[in-house]
């Protein structure tokens, strides 16, 4: 179940990054409610104004998230290289060149995405969440999808610690980050005054 949640997070981040890189690719989203209709004979309809710019989705944290994914990818590559130098892990035959290429592509794409995105409002919490998501997802892909390495001693405990560290950071950070998101609705204080 944690694998599905991690994959869903990565898919969401990649989808968001794609729409940041290719601005015209975002699908049109329906509004909150259907347009109001008047019965015939009630007078002319007044044209409505387009939605205000304040109702657009906030991009707060996107640059930090992408920078965190890039940093997490590089940190993961260094950590796995260090782990493979110890007797606690064993490298298996597999697609190491494909993995190295994939790590380079993920790090480069996340770095480019973070540079192309507005950075006002990006903070370290988003970067840490991106690094934790990258760590967890790359560990799951390397160990369980590609089967490139495994732990020799205490495999279950080390496996839980290795994958669970990223999930623990995400479990702590994500609710706090989502609570701080700005509302998509305009403030009603100005309308009531």
Q: Is 68 inside a domain boundary?
A: yes
| 33 neighbors 129 (Cβ within 8 angstroms) | no
pLDDT in tens, 110-140: 888 777 766 555 567 888 888 999 999 988 8
Q: Is 137 inside a domain boundary?
A: yes
Measured CA to CA, the distance from residue 165 to residue 74 in angstroms comes to 16
At residue 57, the pLDDT reads 45
If one counts the domains in the chain, the total is 1
Q: Is 99 inside a domain boundary?
A: yes
Mean pLDDT of 148-176: 88
Mean pLDDT of 158-165: 89
Greatest alpha-carbon pair distance for the chain in Å reads 84
* Position with higher pLDDT, 75 vs 5: 75
Q: Is 30 inside a domain boundary?
A: no
Q: Is 164 inside a domain boundary?
A: yes
pLDDT in tens, 94-109: 778 888 888 888 888 8
pLDDT in tens, 132-152: 999 999 888 888 888 888 888
Domain that holds residue 73: 59-178
Among 119, 134, 189, CA closest to 165: 134
At residue 44, the pLDDT reads 64
At residue 112, the pLDDT reads 81
Q: Is 75 inside a domain boundary?
A: yes
Q: Is 160 inside a domain boundary?
A: yes
CA dihedral over 36, 38, 39, 40, signed as positive or negative: negative
At residue 21, the pLDDT reads 74
At residue 52, the pLDDT reads 54
Three-state SS string across the chain, please? CHHHHHHHHHHHHHHHHHHHHCHHHCCCCCCCCCCCCCCCCCCCCCCCCCCCHHHCCCCCCHHHHHHHHHHHHHHHHHHHHHHHCCCCEEECCCCHHHHHHHHHHHHHHHHHHHHHCCCCCCCHHHHHHHHHHHHHHHHHHHHHHCCCEEECCCHHHHHHHHHHHHHHHHHHHHHHHHHCCCCCCCCCHHHHC
Measured CA to CA, the distance from residue 131 to residue 13 in angstroms comes to 12
Among 89, 28, 93, CA closest to 57: 28
pLDDT value at 190 more than 70: no
* Position with higher pLDDT, 26 vs 16: 16
pLDDT in tens, 40-97: 666 665 666 665 554 444 455 777 888 888 888 889 889 988 988 999 888 888 778 8
Structure tokens at 184: 């998509």
């Amino acid at each position: 179940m944690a694998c599905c949640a991690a994959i869903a997070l990565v898919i969401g981040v990649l989808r968001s990054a794609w729409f940041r890189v290719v601005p015209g690719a975002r699908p049109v989203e329906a509004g909150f409610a259907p347009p109001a209709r008047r019965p015939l004979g009630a007078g002319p309809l007044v044209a409505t104004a387009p939605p205000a710019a304040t109702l657009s989705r906030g991009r707060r944290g996107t640059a930090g998230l992408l920078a965190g994914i890039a940093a997490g990818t590089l940190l993961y590559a260094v950590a796995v290289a260090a782990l493979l130098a110890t007797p606690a892990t064993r490298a298996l035959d597999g697609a190491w060149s494909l993995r190295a290429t994939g790590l380079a592509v993920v790090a480069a794409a996340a770095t480019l995405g973070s540079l192309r995105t507005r950075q006002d409002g990006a903070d370290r919490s988003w970067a840490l969440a991106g690094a934790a998501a990258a760590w967890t997802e790359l560990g799951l892909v390397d160990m369980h999808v590609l089967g490139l390495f495994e732990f020799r001693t205490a495999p279950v405990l080390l496996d839980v610690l290795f994958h669970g560290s990223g999930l623990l950071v995400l479990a702590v950070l994500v609710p706090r980050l989502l609570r701080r998101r700005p509302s998509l609705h305009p403030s009603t204080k100005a309308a009531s005054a």
